[in-house]
Structure formats: structure tokens, C-alpha cells
Chain A
Amino acid sequence: ISKVSRDSLYEVVQEVLHENQHRRRKFLETVELQISLKNYDSQDKRFSGTVRLKSTPRPKFSVCVLGDQQHCDEAKAVDIPRVDTQALKKLSKNKKLVKKLAKKYDAFLASESMIKQIPRILGPGLNKAGKFPSLLTHNENVVAKADEVQSAMIDDEPAHNTRLAVSFLVSLLKKNWQNVRALYIQSTMSKPQRLY
């Protein structure tokens, strides 16, 4: 990030993670990035979107693959939950079962051949739950993609992820850094620390 030096970012993150060390027990904390904006007109373009972090910081984040033969085989090899075409058809338009499926997993990946069938086979259950699958192509490794969403952040990853998130947001703001008034980082067990 141009306005925040590597060193100060690292320092702040360290402070946030290790402050009150004596009070910390071993549990997974949440790191929050708080952004204060300025000079943003309510009629300016909406900024919205998803940024892919180096490692998605959500433990116990479960992924289910709605796969064709190849993707299901890949998923089976590493014990990733999967549903093949036949199993999917069994859920056909059964609202209760679809709802159950939506509740059971945090995210879904689907092969191209499956993804276009989803509304017709499952109805809008996954849409409403905000869990409509992302496309899984044959160029992508099922394991790698699912793995991505299951790891938690360790060591310098919070700093790296903060850098990614801030860069992304700044790139969507019309005046870039001129629209940012302040940045703070905070974790579950710490006070907010000002980054910018």
C-alpha cells in the first residue's frame, strides 16, 4: 500500500496480535480492519465487491463440491464433501432438503456442466441463502480451491491480507487515498490500533 509503509503495517499488526499477551487464551480471534472515509459523495459510484485474500481467515469453513465425474473423483481423493449428478437429482425441487444442504456447508463449488442446471434441479434455495456456487473449471485443482477457503491466518498473513484488502478498496474509490480518512486494525482481544 503506497501510503502505509511495510514496516509500520507490520508493527501495527504485531501490536494488535501480541498486546495483552498475558490475557490471551488459545482461541481463534477475529482481526478487523476499520476504514473511515472522507470526500465521498453519496451519488458517487457504489463500491462493492469481493477481494480474494491470500488465505481466507475462517476456521471450520466447509466447502461442498457439486461435481461432474472428474471433480467428484478429485474431491473424493482428499475427503472433500461432494454431490454428484445423480445425488443432486434426488434433491430435485425438494425445498426442505435443499435448505438443509445450504445450511450444512458454508460455500459451494460447481462444475460447469452442473452449474447451469442448478436452478432447474434445486430451485432458488442456494440463491436465497447467499451460497450459489462458484464455477470450478477443469483448469483448477479442486483441492487447491477448497483448501484456500479452509485455512486460518498465521504469522504475517494478517499484514498481507490487510494490504490486499486496503489496496482493493482504494482502487475502487474515485479519489483513491484522498477518500480515506483513517484505517484502524483491531483483533478480538485488542484495542483498535491506527494504521493510517
Chain B
Amino acid sequence: MEKIEEQFANLNIVKRSSETKEPTYLLGIDTSKTVQAEKGSLVAVLCSNGSIRIYDKERLNVLREFRGYPGLNGVKFANSCDSVYSSCTDGTVKCWDARLASEKPVQLFKGYPSNIFISFDISCNDHVICAGTEKVDDDALLVFWDARINSQDLSTTKDPLGAYSETHSDDITQVCFHPSNPNMVVSGSTDGLVNVFDITVDNEEDALVTTCNSVSSVSYIGWSGKDYKQIYCMTHDEGFCWWDLNHLDTNEPITCLNIPDVREVINMKEGILDYLIGGLYHEKTDKLFVVGGTNTGIIHIMSCTTSGLVHVTRLQGGHAATVRSFCWNMQDDSLLTGGEDAQLLLWKPGAVEKTLTKKDSMKIASSVYQRVRVHSNHSYKKRKKQ
């Protein structure tokens, strides 16, 4: 097994989030990108009860909560500050300052009348926000805003720069900006199409670089490969597609892999795969991994090869129900996962003492410190309580 795969296999739970009064599904996770002395990293979690919770990354305790926004979709930190964004079916993209206790958004990006936003992303230089809508009448739109906060601009509500309306024919479920090129963005829809745009080009038609067809309904999209010139997607019926845009102008096909139903072809020594959650591109090793799971809470990690998906490892003893979100941290190779069991878990690589017993109800044990230890023979010890 390669080193990175060994690392995945050695992931163990380091922390579980403390119990909260209102159990909800944890639908999205993102971590702060800024590094501030004396201040720990933050985790923002999208909860199914219409709130965004901010946690301390190492302790997984809730620092603050932005409540009362039914219809939120997606959660993302800015790249250069600790603002956190989410799109909403009420036709806005909201921005909060994750370091402030105030529950009100510090900025609102308003869409066009009757826009219902179900996806969004912010460009890597924090300049542009793009949000995707549900199909309303005959249109599914990608709406764009200037995200820069102008100190002279006192207004906290921003209107769009414009929108794309011609390239999707159904709900736009995913928007993903290129990790390092702020001008490229990819969108995915229940119409099965994955569209790649260069937003520096004036009109929509010419901005459309290519359209890939998953022939199903897109649930997740991402960028991968050296220089991030590949795109991949997952579908609602657990399919997986992988395209290489390096071949757009060559004679070679751009399709690297097209699996209609991963559940049917994945070879696992034991157990089954119920669903796919998303993808994870590991820069250092130039490898793409697919994350999936079971309805009992087991997480499966698979690696992508041109001949198919290969099962790498399973993460057990963590969740007790469907896993809905994850966030991989490239700096310390740690993994955060969130599920329908209302738990947020922090996993880190390294040999650890025997894992905690699996939680099979909503009750979460009082916080136990679990330190990562090498070559320990003890079953878990109770550390000082938080």
C-alpha cells in the first residue's frame, strides 16, 4: 500500500463534537483558511435545521451559531479572512463573520426575483461568488457577484454582476471554482451536465469551455490532477465520472472513467457501499480519492485509477448513521466528518489506542480526550474533562 493509503487506513478518531440540544443532520463542513497566532482554526458546519455552527477545530466545541435560516445550502470560508458564506433558497447568499458573536449576516448577496439558490462557491482570490438556482419556469441560472468588501461601500446588500441562463436545463446542484485559477468555474446539474466556464470571457456562450455529460443527475463536482486540469463528478444514483481537460484540444478522449453505479462494481473484501459522499484530491501524491459510506455510518475511501475505483480502507466506530459531509485538511492530513447522527468527528493519522465503542444512539458520551499515541497498549483512557 502506498504511504497516503496507509495514512488513510491509520486514521483514527481524535475528537467527537460535544452533544447539542437540537440534533440535526450535519450537511456541510469547511475549515478556516487563515492562520492566526493565538487563535485556533475554525470549523463551520451547515446544519439541517437551517443554521451554521462554528466550532473550534481541535476541541470541537461550539463557539457560536448563526440560527434561523431554513433553506441554507453549502458552507464555505473565504480564503483570506474568516468570513463564512452559505447560499439560501430565499434568494440570497449570506456572509457572516465567524469570529463575531453577532448572529446577523455581515453581508447579503441578493439574486434576481424568484431565484432559489441551492449551490454556490467563492473564487480562490475571494473576488467572485457564483450561485446556482433551482429550475424556475424554464430557467436554471448561475448568478455572479463581486465579493470584494469595499470599505467605502457601506451597503451590506449587493446586487448581481450578471447571470448565465443558457447552459443548464434543470436544478444546478453544484458550483465549484478552480482551486488556483480564479477565472475558471465548473457547474453541475440534475440535467446531468457538467459545464466548465472561463468567466473572463464577455458572453456566456463564449465563456463555456466545455460541457461533459454524466447522463444522470449530478450531486458532487471537483477539480483534480496536476495543475487541476481534470474534473470529476458524482451522481445521485451513485455514479462516478472523471474527465481530463488536457485532452480538449488533442485527439484523445477526455473521458477517463465513467461508472454508472459504483455500488455495483466496487470490490470490497467485506461489507457494502450504500452511497458516495464526495471526492478528495491529494495534491502531494497526485491521487484522487472517492469517499462513500453505508447507512450505518461506516466510511469507505476508494482510490481512482483509469481502470476503475479501488477500495483503500474503511473508517468504523465513528458515525452511527448516514455520513453526509467531510472536509480534508491538506496541512495536517486530518479529516473532519459529519453525519445524520448529529456528530462531527475529527480523524487524524497515526497509531492510536483501541478505538472508542461505536455510538448507536443519539446520546454522545461526555467529552473524552483522546490523544493520538504511538504504540500504546492501553484501551482508551479518560483524560481531563473539558
Contact = CB atoms under 8 A, between A and B. Distances in A.
B205 interface: yes
Contacts, number: 100
Given A123-B208, A127-B195, A48 B169 contact: no
A134 interface: yes
Contacts of B193: 127, 132
A183 interface: no
Given A43-B27, A43-B48, A132-B211, A49 B195 contact: no
B236 A128 contact: no
Q: How large is the interface on A (under 10, 10 to 19, 20 to 34, 35 or more residues)?
A: 20 to 34
Given A116-B254, A124-B204, A124-B205, A172 B211 contact: no
A135 B275 CA distance: 25
Contacts of B121: none
Nearest to B219: A46
A129 B138 CA distance: 10
A168 interface: yes
Contacts of A123: 166, 205, 208
B55 interface: no
B215 A134 contact: yes
A119 interface: yes
B377 to A, nearest CB: 39
Interface string A149-192: 00000000000000000001001101000000000000000000
Interface in B277-299: 295
Q: Interface of chain A, helix or strand or loop or mixed?
A: loop
Interface string B204-222: 1100111101011101000
B217 A50 contact: yes
Interface residues on B, range: 35 or more
B210 A116 contact: yes
Contacts of B254: 112, 116
B324 interface: yes
Contacts of A20: none
A34 B322 CA distance: 27
B237 interface: yes
Given A43-B27, A119-B208, A119-B210, A50 B322 contact: no
B321 to A, nearest CB: 9
Given A43-B48, A49-B237, A174-B322, A135 B205 contact: no
A118 B211 contact: yes
Contact of A48 (B190, B195, B209, B248): B190
A190 to B, nearest CB: 30
Interface in B7-39: 25, 27
Contact of B169 (A47, A115, A129, A171): A129
Given A45-B322, A124-B205, A172-B236, A116 B213 contact: no
B48 A46 contact: no
B167 interface: yes
Given A48-B217, A48-B236, A49-B235, A119 B169 contact: no
A101 B295 CA distance: 45
Contact of A128 (B167, B237, B322): B167
Interface in B43-87: 48
Nearest to B264: A171
Interface in B249-263: 251, 253-255, 258, 263
Contact of A127 (B27, B169, B236): B169
Given A43-B48, A45-B324, A46-B236, A127 B211 contact: yes
B237 A172 contact: yes
A43 B25 contact: yes
Given A132-B193, A132-B213, A134-B215, A49 B204 contact: no
B2 to A, nearest CB: 31
Given A41-B25, A119-B210, A168-B237, 7 more contacts: A47-B236, A49-B235, A118-B211, A123-B205, A128-B168, A133-B213, A135-B258
6 contacts: A51-B237, A127-B166, A127-B195, A132-B191, A135-B215, A174-B295
